[in-house]
Amino acid sequence: MAKKVKMKGVDRISDLPDPILIHILSFLSTIIAARTSILSTRWRNLFTLVSNLNFELDGCISRWENRLRLRKFNSSTIKSFRCFVDRVLSFHGRTNVDKFRLKFRLKRGKCVDSDSACRWISGALMRGVKHLDLNISLDKFTFPDALFTCSSLVTLKLDIVLVLHVPEDIHFPNLETLHLKSVKFFDDNSVKSLFSSCSNLQDVVIENCSMMNVKSFRISHPLLRSLTIIRPCYTSNCWLTIDAPCLSNFKYIIDHLVAGYSLKNLESIVSADIQFLIENVDLQADARHAATIFREIYRVRSLVLSLYSLELLLSCEPFPAFPTLVELETPYDKAEQLMSSTDKGLETLLSHCPELENLAFRQVLFFDVLISLPEEVPSCLSFKVKAIEISNFKEDEDCIRKAKYILENGRALEKLTIRTSICCRFNKLKISQVLFAYPRKSKQCFILIV
């Protein structure tokens, strides 16, 4: 007892050995880590030995002091941030930097100057940085030349509005992860030299990037495993080429058309998320493009489709088959509108996916896209489908009829989840009464109504 009381005042953290303290500090924003230097002489230089540097102008201040917000930064705050980063880098000496993250998003006119940013990035590159993460807003900025020949880089994440002019003689031998957001590719050659210089590339994310100056956006890589392209901005005469024999995850969110696709060697894709979003509706043209993609990814096991993607899939002639598809999901998105309806949709879909086990749907599909029930029960529904989830379910004759159809035919069904729409919360009980009492083909089927 007496011992416990005594322990109360002990500073257990300071009992830890230096390497552990340094490790703990490496999880903090560098500004916070630096504050520990006032604790005692032992702590004074510990934070300079941390190999992760994380400088954040909005997060650290507004989160920890909860006073300043982005727009309130005045020139003296910015100046002290600048001095702070410079000081840390000079204290840091030649210690290797593992991760370097720089984040500041300021309104125009209130900027950290480009020279400082360039100097800090060069500092990180000189110290053999492996993971570089820059989320910054700058008026005029060009990368230090050393960036493009940095052999230590494993991860490069950029969220910067700038024109990415990639020189020809660049080399990223160890780069595995490349995430680009909001950059504008200078021209075709920039795209080409960027991807051809990364011999180890495995994970690529291209989000909100402009390809207005690019005629052929080509990603051809033997090792690439994961590719995400989100809302690219291209002209209608841009071609998108993907050739990636190892690609296993593919996410593509697009809201307007490119000239066309050339897709090759995509048989390894096991999981795909294809979201065509409606911009200028041209169902036929969109369907032609979607068909090119669906035919190439026919070996997927898991497929996520936006509502419009599903409509496009249903209008493909002939309908692409998915012989290995196990999971199909159309997530709920309030903003999506329906463009068309297909009478035999449900039948077509299920009969082309013989291995389907999990289905997650929205009620609107059952209502408006997949209107009628199949005349002949598709074999996957009889023998394979284990889980079905219907969201936004309404207490409505048609919906109930379809739920009953699932129950009376799903031999392998283990779980039917029904998520009621807001307007039907009160009728949950009624839905439950009807469905719970209805005979089920599958003995182990569990119905969940939420």
Ligand X SMILES: *[C@@H]1O[C@H](CO)[C@@H](O)[C@H](O)[C@H]1NC(C)=O
- The verdict on 77 binding ligand X (CB under 6 A) reads yes
Minimum Å distance from CB 14 to ligand X? 31
Scanning the structure block, which residue is given the tokens 């294809």?
274
Comparing CB distances to ligand X, the nearer of 119 and 157 is 157
What 193-200 contacts at long range (C-beta under 8 Å, 24+ apart), as own/partner pairs, is 193/166, 193/167, 193/168, 194/164, 194/166, 194/170, 195/219, 195/220, 195/221, 197/148, 197/166, 197/170, 197/171, 197/172, 198/172, 199/172, 199/173, 199/223, 200/173, 200/174, 200/175, 200/176
- The verdict on 256 binding ligand X (CB under 6 A) reads no
- The verdict on 76 binding ligand X (CB under 6 A) reads yes
One of 30, 57, 134, 159 touching ligand X (CB under 6 A): 159
CA distance 217 to 238: 7
- The verdict on 181 binding ligand X (CB under 6 A) reads yes
One of 41, 66, 74, 280 touching ligand X (CB under 6 A): 74
One of 118, 161, 258, 449 touching ligand X (CB under 6 A): 161
Angle at which helices 307-314 and 283-296 cross, to 10°? 90
Comparing CB distances to ligand X, the nearer of 55 and 294 is 55
- The verdict on 62 binding ligand X (CB under 6 A) reads no
CA distance 102 to 18: 26
Comparing CB distances to ligand X, the nearer of 162 and 339 is 162
One of 210, 228, 358, 417 touching ligand X (CB under 6 A): 210
Taking residues 111 to 150 in sequence order and writing x for each that binds ligand X by CB under 6 A, - otherwise, the string is ------------------------x---------------
- The verdict on 105 binding ligand X (CB under 6 A) reads yes
Comparing CB distances to ligand X, the nearer of 23 and 35 is 35
Q: Which stretch binds ligand X (CB under 6 A): 43-51, 71-79, 253-261, 414-422?
A: 71-79
Minimum Å distance from CB 139 to ligand X? 13
Q: Length of the chain in residues, anyone?
A: 450
User: Which of 353, 231, 219, 327 has its CA nearest to residue 272?
Assistant: 327
CA distance 166 to 194: 6
- The verdict on 66 binding ligand X (CB under 6 A) reads no
- Which amino acid does the sequence have at 410? G
User: Which of 98, 206, 203 has its CA nearest to residue 153?
Assistant: 98
Comparing CB distances to ligand X, the nearer of 162 and 316 is 162
Minimum Å distance from CB 133 to ligand X? 8
Comparing CB distances to ligand X, the nearer of 49 and 161 is 161
- The verdict on 220 binding ligand X (CB under 6 A) reads no
Angle at which helices 114-126 and 75-92 cross, to 10°? 20
Comparing CB distances to ligand X, the nearer of 179 and 419 is 179
CA distance 107 to 109: 6
Measured between alpha carbons, how far is residue 361 from residues 303, 312, 333, 366 in Å? Answer: 12, 16, 11, 8
Please say whether the beta carbons of 325 and 356 come within 8 A.
yes
Comparing CB distances to ligand X, the nearer of 176 and 311 is 176
Comparing CB distances to ligand X, the nearer of 56 and 311 is 56
Q: Is 270 buried (19+), middle (13-18) or exposed (0-12) by CB count in 10 A?
A: middle
User: Which of 327, 371, 364 has its CA nearest to residue 345?
Assistant: 371
Q: Which stretch binds ligand X (CB under 6 A): 69-77, 142-150, 253-261, 417-425?
A: 69-77
User: Which of 170, 209, 174 has its CA nearest to residue 193?
Assistant: 170
Comparing CB distances to ligand X, the nearer of 68 and 447 is 68
- The verdict on 277 binding ligand X (CB under 6 A) reads no
Q: Which residue ranges make up the site for ligand X (CB under 6 A)?
A: 68, 74, 76-77, 105, 135, 159, 161, 181-182, 184, 208, 210
